[in-house]
Amino acid sequence: MELNKLTIKEARQKLDKGEISSFDLTKICLDRIKKIDDKVKACITICEKEALEEAKKADEKIKKGEKSDLLGIPYIAKDNILTKGVKTTAASKFLENYIAPYDATIIKKLKNEGAVLLAKSNLDEFAHGASTENSCHRPTHNPWDLERVPGGSSGGSAAAVAADMCIFSLGTDTGGSIRCPAGFCGVVGLKPSYGLASRFGLISMTSSTDVPGPITKTVEDAEIVMGVIMGKDENDATTVEFKNEEKTKNNIKDFKIGIPSEYFDEKVDKKVIDLVKKAIGELEKKGAKVVEISLPHTKYTVPTYYIITPSEISSNLARFDGIRYGVRQGEGDDLENVYLASRGKGFGEEVKRRIMLGTYTLSAGYRDAYYLQAQKVRTKIKEELDFELEKVDCLITPTSPHTAFKIGEQADDPILMYLEDILVSGPSLAGLPAISIPCGEIDGLPVGMQIIGSRLNEKILFNIGNIFQNITDWHIKRPNI
């Protein structure tokens, strides 16, 4: 097997046995990026020199007998995660030359483990999008079909893993931005519980739903990465110190799976429904108990999400004014002119659209009618999910309502693009963990299955995900590129 195709577990075993070196593994991944990224366009900044130096250091540590799960393992990070001394652009003209003065907490943790940063990956500008078309650099292409999107906003990270440019990657998920691209690209994407991993050093989109998480080739690898990046951080008051003491379930007969009818209705492609139901049937044949449930507030998740999200965006992006952050535009001493010129030229169309929506919903006379009402509905959505998850171990749904669409196909219809989040925004609003794993293909394009768990119970996602991958082989399929 080519080294860049290894999983974390496989690479770890070979590194510890001395069968391969981190330097060789890193070099092969970098060569792979050079070979195919002109087609996929997953990377913004490649850190070749730094990566090879870090790989040499990792090899020295391994020779000394040091051990850690990610020592010497090459990865790619989404370009809205701060990396000291390396450009972090958030795929925006506003930050096209910004070099972070410090590492995000999750990057620092990976550095401490000895993981090797290969590159920064493309995304929708400031993570605003569902296709990775809204980048100031260029759209990313799906390695399964280069005419199609990889999903968003972590499309670069998902495409890089699917195309074997790295062993794993990091993304961020606000309303599906890890899970959707993982589903479109046929890889594993984990949105952890809100607060399980630090947001310190992430360029904020929606502070109340943003979470960093791994995109990997297997569920087992996602668990390994999450074990490193999780934990309390004094720089992020929303983080929690948590250790799951629940007894691991390895017997499929111990699982009770809830199937929400609202996630399998006419808004989802029938072929996707059939594939996900077939996957659930595989678990049922092995002994899992499957029960139909109802989540009637599901229809309100996207409207609620797209009131709360632009509201927080308009607040979070206020700091980008051409003075504190970003490329300054405008002339003279007129401060308002500097603000208008800098933000007008620095932000892309989707970012401007969300700022205007958010400013409107927070404005005098509309805040109570829109923003506060949305927060009340959000509470109902959370209560409904929590209630059902007390009766079952997890919920299983499709990740996306269809397979990857063609680049440009939905670019002129913002509402259609917002509806891409219809199956994934609920867990985000509720702060619940959810994982997308590949469960089949339609016309050569991957389909993702979403597993949702109760808050801070990632363990159940790993258990059921590993069981599914042990009885199927969808996770080992890769695009021919």
Asked if residues 378 and 429 have their Cβ atoms less than 8 Å apart, the reply is yes
Residue type, 159: A
Looking at residue 118, its amino acid is L
**Coil/strand/helix, residue 21:** coil
Is 374:427 a contact under the CB 8 Å cutoff? no
In the three-class reduction of DSSP (H, G, I as helix; E, B as strand; rest coil), residue 332 is classed as coil
Residue reference for tokens 């929708």 = 124
E runs forming strands in 50-108: 74-78
Check: CB of residue 210 under 8 Å from CB of residue 216: no
Alpha-helical runs (H) found in 317-443: 335-346, 349-362, 373-389, 414-418, 425-430
Question: Which of 102, 250, 73 has the alpha carbon at shortest distance from 161?
Answer: 73
Q: Which residues pair with 43 in a beta bridge?
A: 121
Active site residues: 78, 153, 177
CA distance 396 to 295: 13
d(CA 303, CA 95): 30
The arrangement of strands across the sheet holding 74-78 comes to 43-46, 116-121, 74-78, 168-173, 211-216, 188-191, 434-442, 445-452, 394-398, 256-260, 289-293
Please answer whether residues 440 and 275 qualify as being in contact, where contact means their C-beta atoms are separated by less than 8 angstroms: yes
